[in-house]
């Protein structure tokens, strides 16, 4: 498992996503300043600060929004904020509605790209467990507010046989599991299904978790290295001839 995971980790999620999108034929633009979805403050009930942060983000993103460029979210919590909560927080700002309409996950973007007949520079993935095997921990925000089926479609197209972990939240939930008095509950949640599934997985199985908090919980609870879909896709890019 270690050798294959090392290959997947050659490009961390952000850089891996850029390589993946460029391989698909896109030019990737980054915001021309600091941006934040505001989740840090939203999760602790600081709604005024959340709105202030989102307005600053919209100010930076405005030229890109006017151009109609898709916004690809890599972190599920941030993506859900931009796909759902932003218009509830800033209902009178038309830019917020543009963000909501333009934001997609990497899985959603890639699946649609493939369905539309776009260039597909990926081969099928082999692991030490045989034809690609993946254990998928779906982030609880994506599970409750989003749709993981596009990610599964992409994995299938990469030749990866996916098994989605049940049991919901990994137990860390942002910073909740780090707070005093929460550790035992956090670990109990992880032990419901996530940790046992990872320990029982065949050697070489990819542990897929798009959420940073999920990957942190997996590493601390099992010692396994969780990876992002972008890293899996990057590992499947066919070498140029």
- The per-residue pLDDT for 128 is 58
**Chain Cα centroid distance, residue 195:** 19
Element of type H or E holding 56 = helix 47-67
What would the DSSP string read from start to end of 139-186? -HHHHHHS--HHHHHHHHHTT-EEEE--SS--S-TTTGGGSTT-HHHH
- Give the pLDDT of residue 218: 87
- Residues of the chain where predicted confidence (pLDDT) is lower than 70: 1-11, 127-131, 141, 144, 146, 167, 171-179, 241
Contact 19, 237 (CB under 8 A): yes
The pLDDT value given to residue 2: 33
In a 3-state reduction of DSSP, which class is residue 128?
A: coil
pLDDT at 175: 67
Q: Which two tokens stand for residue 206?
A: 């990819």
Residue 139: predicted pLDDT? 84
Question: 159, exposed or middle or buried, with CB in 10 Å at 0-12, 13-18, 19+?
Answer: middle
**For residues 72 and 108, what is the distance between their CA atoms, to the nearest angstrom?**
9
152: its two tokens: 């599964």
What is the bridge-based pairing of β-strands 103-105 and 130-131?
Answer: unpaired
């Amino acid at each position: 498992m270690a050798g294959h995971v090392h290959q997947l980790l050659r490009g961390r999620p952000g850089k891996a996503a850029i390589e993946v999108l460029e391989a698909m034929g896109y030019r990737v633009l980054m915001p021309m300043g600091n941006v934040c979805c505001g989740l840090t403050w939203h999760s602790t009930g600081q709604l005024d600060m959340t709105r202030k942060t989102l307005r600053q983000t919209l100010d930076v993103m405005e030229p890109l929004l006017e151009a109609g460029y898709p916004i690809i979210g890599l972190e599920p919590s941030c993506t859900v904020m931009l796909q759902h909560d932003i218009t509830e927080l800033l209902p009178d700002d038309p830019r917020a509605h543009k963000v909501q309409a333009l934001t997609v996950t990497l899985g959603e973007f890639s699946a649609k790209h493939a369905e539309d007949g776009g260039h597909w520079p990926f081969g099928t993935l082999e692991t030490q467990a045989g034809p690609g095997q993946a254990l998928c921990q779906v982030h609880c925000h994506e599970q409750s507010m989003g749709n993981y089926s596009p990610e599964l479609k992409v994995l299938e197209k990469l030749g990866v046989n996916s098994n989605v972990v049940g049991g919901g939240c990994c137990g860390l939930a942002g910073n909740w599991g780090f707070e005093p008095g929460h550790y035992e509950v956090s670990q109990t949640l992880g032990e419901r299904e996530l940790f046992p599934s990872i320990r029982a997985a065949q050697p070489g199985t990819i542990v897929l978790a798009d959420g940073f908090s999920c990957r942190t919980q997996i590493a601390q609870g099992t010692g396994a290295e969780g990876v992002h879909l972008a890293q899996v896709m990057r590992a499947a890019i066919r070498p140029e001839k």
